[in-house]
Chain A
Amino acid sequence: MSSADRRRPWLLLAPALVTLVVLMILPIGIMTVFSFYQFETAGVEKEVFTTENWREFFTDGFYHMFLWKTARVAAITAILCALLGYPPAYFIAMTGYKHKWLLLLLLIVPFWISFTIRTFSWIHILGEQGVINVLLMKAGIISEPLRMLYTEGAVIMGMIHFLLPYMILNVYVSIEGIDRNLISAARTLGCTAGQAFYEVVLPLSLPGLMAGLLLCFVLAAGSYVTPEILGSTRDALFGNIIFDTIMGQLNWPLGSTLSLVLLVMLGVIAAIYSRYMGLSRVFKGLGA
């Protein structure tokens, strides 16, 4: 192998590596350094080594509570996305409609509108003067407006709104990849349509479903715009705590610490999950 040959892979990798280092590794490194700085007063930190910020995170139950709450809300969101997303994904994959691309396009259409604006739209639907309350009161079903906005439910709903397409696309791709003859084979061997789904489609689409669950969980756990707009202060997620620490209290050292905590937590969950997913991938590979 000539030296040019040996250089080539590195040259090809260079743009991605440089981007990763500059935009990921370096900032995380800086944050790690910051997390060991000492907080003086709002906006001022001293460049001396201290474990104070980490001690505060590990000893203050407030942070543990919000970390747990974040994991719980993200898990609920991901599971609801799976339940709501699987049927449409199945439908799009299985339909005999010849303009399938149109259905997939419809799925992506919401992305054309700013995520923040889409989130704000829920205020007009769920608010005290929102569509639902007004209609229910006009119909005389309720006399007082229901409290739907600024609740955990509203936050979860807003996140489902934004995450559902990711779930549907993931599941769709895996169902689309299933050989239709397998379903026919199951049917001729004595399965009803439902049994064939359970025996063939569901197990072979699990990798997509699992990938969708992880993606939705990680994105939900990292979100802060949705709880900011649709939740009350009690419905804050860990992202909001970080935002508040950095932008409100101007406590960068603690903010860095909390950011690293969230990063590590999501990283560990993703890693554990991928090990399990690894098995599913094998099954998926066999289907090809």
Chain B
Amino acid sequence: MKKACAMTAETAVQLRNVTLSYGEFVAVNNVSLSIGRGEFVTLLGPSGCGKTTILRSIAGLVQPTGGEIEVAGRRIDNIPIHKRNIGLVFQNYALFPHKSVFDNIAFGLKYRNVEKSVIAQKVKRALDMVRLPGVEKKLPSEMSGGQQQRIALARAIVIEPDVLLLDEPLSALDANLREEMRTELKTIQREVGITTIFVTHDQEEALAMSDRVVVMNKGVIEQQGSPEDVYRRPETRFVATFLGQSNLLPGRIASVGNGLATVSLDNGQQIEAAAPSAAKAGMAVTGVVRAQKVVVGKTGPIQGKIISVSYLGGTAAYFIDAAGIRLQSISTIEERIWREGEAVAISIAPADCQLLDETGHRLQ
């Protein structure tokens, strides 16, 4: 997060206490967010977490019930959609089916009273940028999903918007194409240097593409930071479980010393975790350990038995019963794969165990 902030001193988008409720249901609850110029920010969360609602509020398609939105230093939540100068790419592309590719891309320019000859130039440049030169005359229906996606991107970027909003733009593509477009989208964004807000429920996409990931749940921001940051140091229980596969180990801090906290788990076994300064003996905590950090071997402090094995090629996923606690491990296969029913020993490095307090927040 520090890196991202240093890179982008100028603020492009500013949300202040934005709230949006539909009757009883609060879709977005008092969200404040600041996005730097040229930054690629992803709003990540399960469906219904409010990420799309935030995007639609910035675009003007829904009206927040409270708060302020500023784009490029101008307050926009009180001005009509068509005066906001925002590029929006829809999940289903929303290309005009009755207009040619040229007319689709030229659409926004036409309403900005750009001269015809300039429009032709800009459309051509936009098509070159999305690597689809020469398709001006085609209808959207004559193009593949990936191509339509690029046209939609070109249509949104050609108007040189203050911010580009992408609403799950890759989710309608098949897996191979999705990975390709992911790279391409990121490259184009870099080239143009456009401030981008990307909404997705796909954590891989979020981690791969973003300068900053904003994890949302139930209308609030759970955590924001660099992809590495949110993945390796989840601030809350939600982030820990939503991103990747984590083991949650409830217990109580038995002792703190030498920068290590010893946690007695509910089944009586003990694990060690790097102790944050707030850690005190007697505290009820939950240890969070990524499945990749649970090491299965012959020696280790925790004894368990393999319940199930899935062979994944280079790695294997194990479910282990450790005296009543179920652990998940994803380990590289060193000598041999462990079999179902085998007794194993598990070790977890203290640095790989984060501690959450009773409210589900990381101990600081």
Contacts and interface: CB of A to CB of B under 8 A. Distances in A.
B225 interface: no
B111 A188 contact: no
A204 B82 contact: no
Interface in A188-214: 188-192, 195, 199-200, 203-204
A118 interface: no
B84 interface: yes
Contacts of A287: 97-98
A188 B92 contact: no
B94 A187 contact: no
Given A181-B90, A286-B139, A188 B81 contact: yes
A174 B96 CA distance: 15
Nearest to B141: A286
B92 A190 contact: no
B111 A184 contact: no
Nearest to A280: B98
A181 B98 contact: no
A185 B96 contact: yes
Contact of A181 (B87, B94, B108): B94
B112 A185 contact: no
Nearest to B105: A189
B155 interface: yes
B94 A185 contact: yes
Given A181-B90, A184-B88, A189 B107 contact: yes
Given A204-B98, A286-B98, A286-B139, A188 B87 contact: yes
Given A286-B139, A286-B140, A188 B60 contact: yes
Interface in B43-86: 59-61, 80-82, 84, 86
A283 B96 CA distance: 10
B98 A184 contact: no
A179 interface: yes
Contacts of A262: none
B159 interface: yes
Interface string A245-288: 00000000000000000000000000000000000000101110
B59 A203 contact: no
A51 to B, nearest CB: 49
Contacts of A286: 97-98, 139-141
Contacts of A190: 82, 108, 111-112, 159
Interface residues of B, number: 26
Nearest to A189: B108
Contacts of A192: 80, 82
A188 B159 CA distance: 10
Given A179-B92, A286-B140, A188 B84 contact: yes
A195 B155 CA distance: 18
- A181, A191, A203: residue with the most chain B Cβ atoms closer than 10 Å: A181
Contact of B94 (A184, A199, A204, A283): A184
Given A192-B82, A286-B141, A186 B98 contact: no
A195 B60 CA distance: 17
B90 A203 contact: no
Interface range on chain A: under 10, 10 to 19, 20 to 34, or 35 or more? 20 to 34
A199 B87 contact: no
A262 to B, nearest CB: 36
B98 A283 contact: yes
Contacts of A189: 82, 107-108, 111, 155, 159
B208 to A, nearest CB: 26
B293 to A, nearest CB: 42
Interface in A22-45: none
Interface in B112-166: 112, 139-141, 155, 159
A283 B99 CA distance: 9
Interface string B6-44: 000000000000000000000000000000000000000
B97 A191 contact: no
A15 B94 CA distance: 43
A283 B90 contact: no
A151 to B, nearest CB: 41
B58 to A, nearest CB: 10
A203 B139 CA distance: 15
Contact of A188 (B86, B96, B98, B140): B86
A68 B84 CA distance: 54
Contacts of A186: 96, 107
A286 B98 CA distance: 7
A182 B155 contact: no
A187 B81 contact: yes
Interface string A155-183: 00000000000000000000000010110
B80 A200 contact: no
A203 B97 CA distance: 10
21 contacts: A179-B92, A179-B94, A184-B61, A185-B90, A186-B96, A187-B81, A188-B60, A188-B61, A188-B81, A188-B88, A189-B155, A190-B82, A190-B111, A190-B159, A191-B82, A195-B82, A203-B98, A285-B141, A286-B97, A286-B98, A287-B97
Interface of A: 179, 181-182, 184-192, 195, 199-200, 203-204, 283, 285-287
Q: Closest 7 interchain pairs by CB?
A: A190-B111, A286-B97, A189-B108, A181-B94, A185-B94, A187-B81, A287-B97
